[in-house]
Amino acid sequence: MPSSSRASSSRVVRTRAAALWFVVAAGFVCATTVHAAEHTVVMDGVKFEPAALTVSSGDTVVWINKDPFPHTATARGVFDSHEIAAGKSWKFTPGKAGVYEYVCTLHPGMKGTLTVK
Ligand SMILES: [Cu+2]
């Protein structure tokens, strides 16, 4: 009898611990979703799409090159992807608020603006 009662009380403890973990994990997922979004800029047809993007500080921006030749996303002194090969991508997480004009150094007419709030 004492052994079965011990087993049942340890099951309650395990269940409570599992419930607590669920709450902590759900809160973490929610926090990362709300505060650190991921944004995508597609490089296609020698254009950035969207050409103007606004993100929050701490968000991640991913440039994906869908053209069959390399591009860069370069805001001098702020960020520089260097050459992103065809089919590849590059990520940047801006920390400082500002309006950053950037270009592809290989195609100077290819321009974008990243606004960080
Ligand atoms: Cu380019």
Ligand 1: distance of its center to the CA of 117 in Å? 26
Residues 16-54 have pLDDT tens digits of 555 545 445 555 555 555 578 999 999 999 999 999 999
Ligand 1: distance of its center to the CA of 104 in Å? 5
Ligand 1: distance of its center to the CA of 7 in Å? 66
The C-alpha atoms of residue 60 and residue 71 are separated, in whole angstroms, by: 19
pLDDT for res 19 = 54
The C-alpha atoms of residue 61 and residue 108 are separated, in whole angstroms, by: 21
Ligand 1: distance of its center to the CA of 69 in Å? 8
Instruction: Kindly list the domain boundaries of the chain, sorted by start residue.
Output: 1-35, 38-116
Ligand 1: distance of its center to the CA of 68 in Å? 10
If one looks up domain 38-116 in CATH, what number appears?
2.60.40.420
When pLDDT is cut at 50, 70 and 90, the band that residue 62 belongs to is very high
For residue 1, pLDDT beyond 50: no
Q: Please name the residues in contact with 95: beta carbons below 8 A apart, sequence gap of 6 or more.
A: 57, 58
